[in-house]
């Protein structure tokens, strides 16, 4: 019997659990697979951004059984990969394993996302995922409810990019709507760019 998800704010002591959870959740993600086509590096990537960006500046929600997690950035905080030696090492290892074409893919993905990213203040749900063996348990929906409750309490809109068409209906049930869709480079994955209007005071 599956227990109902209980979502809480993560603490630095959860770093290893968050890294493991999101690395598993994004194992088959089309954009991650295209930009970083070396799954063995996912854990290093998530460790760096969670430790150096999301804990200091973002909002991290975690299912208390480690089945899923969500990473939000509040208004005014841009996603910037911390300039640490660890990230440089990751990029070097990626190039050695997969060639310099990976740098072009990173550039193309970043340029496309920058093109569609809204300029008005908003909450940015950059990463949300559930472990592959926790699909269909309501974890993703519970994570979204936790985040959008915070967003609504501040009367702010929210934004995300969906790299999987199967997830679009879930986001739509939480009032995100597709504003446009576009493809990363010529052979890259399709991405759905989604916006959620701020709640009205009487809603």
CATH classification at residue 107:
3.40.630.30
177 domain residue, yes or no = yes
Mean of the per-residue pLDDT values of the chain: 90
User: For the segment 84-132, what is each residue's pLDDT rounded down to a tens digit?
Assistant: 656 777 777 788 777 777 888 888 999 999 999 999 999 999 999 999 9
Handedness of CA 108, 46, 157, 119 (dihedral sign): negative
What is the model's pTM?
A: 0.91
Domain boundaries, position 72: 7-196
Residue 203: is its pLDDT beyond 50?
Answer: no
Q: Which residues contact 122 (CB under 8 A, 6 or more apart)?
A: 75, 156, 157, 158, 159, 195
Residues in the chain: 203
171 domain residue, yes or no = yes
Give how far Cα 41 sits from Cα of 35, 55, 94, 133, 190, Å.
11, 20, 8, 21, 23
Count of domains forming the chain:
1
Which residues is 70 bridged to in the sheet? Answer: 61, 128
For the ranges 52-61, 84-93, 162-171, the lowest mean pLDDT is seen at 84-93
2 domain residue, yes or no = no
192 domain residue, yes or no = yes
Is residue 50 within 8 Å of residue 56, measured between CB atoms? Answer: no
202 domain residue, yes or no = no
């Amino acid at each position: 019997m599956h227990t109902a998800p209980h979502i809480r704010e993560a603490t630095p002591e959860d770093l290893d659990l968050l890294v493991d959870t999101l690395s598993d959740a994004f194992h088959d993600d089309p954009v991650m697979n295209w930009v970083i086509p070396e799954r063995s590096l996912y854990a290093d990537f998530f460790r760096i951004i969670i430790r150096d960006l999301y804990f200091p500046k973002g909002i991290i929600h975690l299912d208390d059984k480690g089945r899923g997690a969500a990473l939000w950035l509040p208004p005014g905080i841009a996603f910037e990969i911390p300039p640490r030696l660890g990230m440089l090492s990751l990029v070097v290892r990626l190039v050695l394993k997969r060639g310099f074409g990976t740098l072009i893919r990173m550039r193309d993905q970043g340029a496309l996302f920058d093109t569609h990213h809204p300029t008005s203040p908003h909450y940015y749900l950059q990463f949300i995922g559930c472990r592959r063996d926790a699909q269909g348990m309501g974890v993703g929906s519970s994570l979204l409810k936790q985040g959008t409750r915070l967003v609504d309490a501040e009367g702010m809109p929210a934004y995300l990019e969906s790299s999987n068409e199967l997830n679009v209906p879930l986001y739509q049930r939480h009032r995100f709507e597709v504003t446009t869709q576009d493809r990363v480079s010529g052979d890259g994955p399709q991405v759905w760019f989604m916006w959620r209007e701020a709640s009205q005071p009487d809603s």
